[in-house]
Structure 1
């Protein structure tokens, strides 16, 4: 089973079919400037080529409650297991704040700052357009999600580098994304795999596209009609692999409520969890997830 390729301007029926059947799709005609994409790829590679001491000058601990900055290989957990990747965490550029996950970013240079902020702005536009299409695919007004959740979205942008580790190395184990919508730029090496029934499918890089997938919160909002799909990253053997996942999520204070009646799942989730049990704000939900991904930062993020 292949992952569908659809236009950002596709008919809502196409978007709905991709969301129901796969939970993953490639998006074309997104309008994100190719030169901007080349710049962010080049500057990311230059940063990860630096020595560890240089990279640690913007380590996440210095970002405090904003949850921004660099982390070395092994510091991030997926399903309780260390990932074989290093990365940079960014979010909306905001003034210093007492609120968790809000505040300024840590950038290695002014040039990187300009590129990252421009890229996040471009991908935010793609996120809004995709959510309009998803709303229409559900028979809702095009602004349904914007009016209730994403007029001022919570933006999380990551840049990951997977160093080579031989045949047995895994980048990231099986998981689903916990937010609303993920928009992923891959480098040419690939490595992303998507689970379809009991089969793992390679999400090979397709030039000019982003890979989009549903997160657990969109699964929750649609009552299970659009289900988040497990995926993983295969370890690299003899080269680095870079990826740029952009997470387009509800506002921190948005109250998470299902669009309609819950759809009975035909099979249990891979991890036995039930994403439909959660009630509360997206911020509450997200902070609980953060505590599992970076347990060493939990006290700093959640401390009043």
Structure 2
């Protein structure tokens, strides 16, 4: 189909430098902690229990699921429909920088830095800065308005969750709002194509990684594939299109001195059907200094700015083909 990126050709070239990939072993599916956010609307013991659950999940799992999150099914369905229409546009259109009038390299597929098949992602994405949304071409008005509506809702949710997690660290409530203005976060529309790969029964839709953010909020469809590394093994996350998945990012792990966990996760492709997801990365400005807020334990990580962290990540991806992450900043 003319909307598919040339995954097969790219993989054939990489295969020259790679052994054949074996089928990934079966993984057990798990139920992540489910948190009902409607309890946050009340100033009583139920709110306290809810915030405790959020902090516990961030510490023990690094992932949790939220329901009654305030984003209507209509908004969720609309962005799912619009992203499907977008990804089913011809590939030649999608790679044009002027197609949506976004920042260069906003459309991505595969992994141009991959040196072997194990570093290749069988997926495509539009990585959109919140600051770029108002500049989208007027001919995509419905897509733009849908993204704006979703972004407004999910950014409010992210801010609320981040403030709760920050307050548990003793961080003043204004810190999150002051350092995370509306234009510094990102929305990533993902499509994981079916992978009829001739030399592998399964391939990665997205390589194992942690997120460079305070936290990420993910809307999934009904097709599974998200896996996280927990207690020395990979486990699958049961999909729930009505709920949202929240995971802790590197910045909160560093700020919490390792109390909150930024967990490695990946996506496995489905052999027969495509999968869609929308990820919102809640990020501060580039000059924000990330440092440990622990008052009882020695700092685990060096202080760094988000810019320094991104520059180190870019060097690692360029030289190694993958992100290294927080271990680069250990004291």
Name the CA shift for 1:256/1:205 in 2 (closer, same or farther; >3 Å): same
Alignment pair present for 1:206 and 2:245: no
Residues 158 and 78 (structure 1), Cα distance of their counterparts in 2 relative to 1, 3 Å cut = farther
> 2:152, 2:114 → 1: CA distance?
28
Q: Write the deviation string for residues 163-221 of structure 1: whole angstroms up to 9, x where unpaired.
A: 11143222122211122100000111021011111222211112421100011111001
Q: Does 1:73 align with 2:73?
A: no
Unmatched segments (≥5 aa) in structure 2? 1-29, 41-46, 320-331
Give the alignment's TM-score, normalised by structure 2.
Answer: 0.73
Deviates further, 182-191 or 246-255? 246-255
Rg bigger for which structure? 2
The residue that corresponds to 1:242 in the other structure is 276
Aligned to 1:155: 185
Instruction: Please point out which of 283, 289, 298 is paired with 2:313.
Output: 289
Decide which of 135, 147, 158 is 1:127's aligned counterpart.
Answer: 158
CA distance in 2, matches of 1:237, 1:153: 37
- 2:20 maps to 1:5: no
SS in structure 2 of the partner of residue 122 of structure 1? helix
2:101–2:135 CA contact under 8 A, matched in 1: no
The answer to whether structure 1 residue 54 and structure 2 residue 93 are counterparts is yes
What's the RMSD between the two structures over aligned residues?
A: 3.1
Which residue is equivalent to 1:39?
A: 78
Residues 91 and 105 in structure 1, CA contact (< 8 A), matched pair in contact too: no
Would the aligned equivalents of 1:20 and 1:225 in 2 still touch at CA under 8 Å? yes
State the distance in 2 between where 1:137 and 1:16 align: 7
In structure 2, do the counterparts of structure 1 residues 284 and 140 end up closer, same or farther at CA, with 3 Å as the change threshold? closer
What is the distance in 2 between the residues matched to 1:290 and 1:57?
23
Evaluate the alpha carbon distance shift between residue 82 and residue 199 of structure 1 in structure 2; reply closer, same or farther with a 3 A threshold: same
Counterparts of residues 71-150 of structure 1 (less than 5 Å) = 71-75=108-112, 81-94=119-132, 104=135, 109-147=140-178, 149-150=179-180
Matched residues, number: 275
Alignment counterpart, residue 226 of structure 2, candidates 185, 192, 203: 192
| Contact 1:78-1:175 within 8 A present in 2 as well | no
Pairwise mapping of residues 22-37 of structure 1 onto structure 2 (< 5 A)? 22-37=61-76
Tell me how far apart the structure 1 counterparts of residues 99 and 304 of structure 2 sit (CA, whole Å).
27
Which of residues 170, 174, 186 is equivalent to 2:208? Answer: 174
- Between the aligned partners of 2:97 and 2:285, the Cα distance in structure 1 is 26
TM-score after normalising by structure 1:
0.79
- Give ranges in structure 1 of 5+ residues lacking alignment: 96-102, 266-273, 296-304
Change (3 A) 1:257 1:47: same
Deviations 1:19-66 (A, max 9, x none): 111000001121112212111111111111122112122379975xx4
8 Å CA contact 1:69, 1:105 repeated in 2: no
CA contact (8 A) 1:88 1:158 kept: yes
